[in-house]
Amino acid sequence: MSADTNQEMAGLDAATSRAVGLLAKARLPLIAGLGTDVEGVRAALRLAHRTGAAVDHVGAAHIAGELRMVADAGSMTTTLAEARNRGDLIVVCGEGARRWIEETAPFASSETPYDWRGERTLLCLGCTAPTSVAAVAASEEIAGDPVDLLRELKAAIGGRPSSVVHETAVAKLREARFGVFVTDPRDFDHLGLELAQALVKDLNETTRFTSISVPAPAHGRGANLVSAWTTGGRLRVGFGRGFPEQDDWRFSAERLVADGEADLLIWVGALVPDLPDYAASLPTIALVPPGAQATADVVIEVGVPGIHHDAVLTDAVRDAFTFVEASDIATWPSVATVLDGIAAALDAGRENA
């Protein structure tokens, strides 16, 4: 679209017309990706209710694994701010956790209001040490599968026989004043996550330990909460019977496409512009950031939340929703504006039919 407002709105109207035409003929639309802010998720759920669509998020499997672990075994967690301020031992569990720490640098500051904390140490299980952690007095890297290493460490901490002994790692765990395990649910199934929490609980018998989980991508945690308070169920959800239903298997985007049930994809990609491979299998309406190289039947460029327009997003440090003021206000419409426009045009077409 042109940056000129009149040309942009004309382009949006034409795209909306094509999108409505596809949507009107769809038997089971699929709204997926869902990388957007709170208002965008709300608009997606409203459109799904109008059209009987299924709704999936790109991070739904991540969220489901974490929630199943919490439901089955409970968890000991803290906020990122507390982990950063208090943690004197950071246990990095796997490559996903290492990559997230490297990319987002949550421990890049060594400042703390607690004079007892002292310098940090790192224990890296199945990965190399991230370089973005400040004030590291010592680090230890243990090669191997993170789940196997957690199992061996748990046996050692509990005084049970183990075929492998990690003496220095066990000493670090026992000597920590406030240890923090960092895990990425994409690297573990729910049993692996339960194992990490079981080790955290064992360590709390003699010292203080907690954990933080790598957030789901593309505002996944926030989208899940919006679904919960709007529909009564977490993602994934479907509206095919006129009311919201939650089912991880039935409303999985990949399964719906693979089994030929979904016949139209609306990819909401303001925060996740790359379309999935399965998009090539069915007609696709793609909502992507300006300049994104998207191949779809209808491409509508939308603003990025918190950059091109004000937005409410989850804040990993506060572990809460926060208002994010636009840093580069532009004329690109928001996801909510586009989806509500499609819904309004669809309703108008039905009334005139």
What DSSP letter does each residue of 58-72 carry, written as one string?
TTHHHHHHHHHHHHH
30 and 87 both lie in a single domain? no
Confidence at 224, pLDDT banded by 50, 70, 90: very high
Residues 195 and 300 in one domain: no
Q: What is the pLDDT of residue 2?
A: 32
> H or E segment at 138?
strand 136-142
Q: Is residue 231 classed as helix, strand or coil in its secondary structure?
A: helix
Residue 226 to residues 56, 58, 110, 283, 338, Cα–Cα distance (Å): 13, 15, 34, 27, 19
* Confidence label for 350 from pLDDT (cuts 50, 70 and 90): low
**Sequence-ordered alpha helix ranges (H) in the chain:** 5-25, 38-51, 60-73, 80-86, 95-104, 146-157, 167-175, 190-203, 220-231, 253-258, 335-352
pTM of the model: 0.89
Output the domain CATH number for residue 50: 3.40.50.740
- pLDDT at residue 186 above 80? yes
Clarify whether residues 184 and 224 are in a common domain.
Answer: no
Query: Which whole number is the average pLDDT over 331-345?
Result: 95
H helical segments located in 158-234: 167-175, 190-203, 220-231
Same domain as 47, residue 125: no
The verdict on 208 and 230 lying in the same domain is: no
Most confident of 107-111, 161-165, 250-254: 250-254
Q: What are phi and psi of 241, to 5 degrees?
A: -100, 15
Q: Is the pLDDT of residue 320 over 90?
A: no
The total number of structural domains in the chain stands at 2
Q: What angle do CA 210, 213, 217 make, to 5 degrees?
A: 165
Least Cα distance to 61 among 193, 149, 180, 151 occurs for 193
Q: Tell me, yes or no, whether 246 and 230 share the same domain.
A: yes
Residue 5 clears pLDDT 80, i.e. is over it:
no
Note whether 346 and 232 are same-domain residues.
yes
Domain match, 236 and 266 both: yes
pLDDT value of residue 351: 63
Is residue 3's pLDDT more than 50? no
Domain boundary among 183, 213, 243: 213
User: Which of 213, 236, 266 is the C-terminal boundary of a domain?
Assistant: 213
- Picking from 213, 244, 271, the residue at the C-terminal end of a domain is 213
Top-confidence residue, 348 or 280: 280
Phi-psi region of 177 (alpha: psi -120 to 50; beta: other; left: phi over 0): alpha
Asked whether residue 256 carries a pLDDT value surpassing 50, the answer given is yes
In this model, does residue 349 exceed pLDDT 80? no
Same domain, 238 and 338: yes
DSSP string, 265-287: EEEEESS--SPPGGGGGS-EEEE
Residue 12 pLDDT level (bands cut at 50, 70, 90): low
| Average pLDDT score over residue span 50-58 | 97
Q: What pLDDT was estimated at residue 353?
A: 57
Dist CA 39 CA 54 (whole Å): 18
Domain of residue 110 covers 64-213
Residues 260, 162 share a domain: no
| 259 and 346 in a common domain | yes
Distance CA 292, CA 59 (A): 20
Q: Are residues 93 and 205 in the same domain?
A: yes
Residue in 96, 140, 90, 93 with CA at minimum distance from that of residue 110 = 90
- Beta-carbon contacts of residue 280 (< 8 Å; ≥ 6 apart): none
Q: Give the C-alpha separation, 81 to 113, whole Å.
A: 11
| DSSP-H helix ranges across 26-53 | 38-51
Q: Is the pLDDT of residue 107 over 70?
A: yes
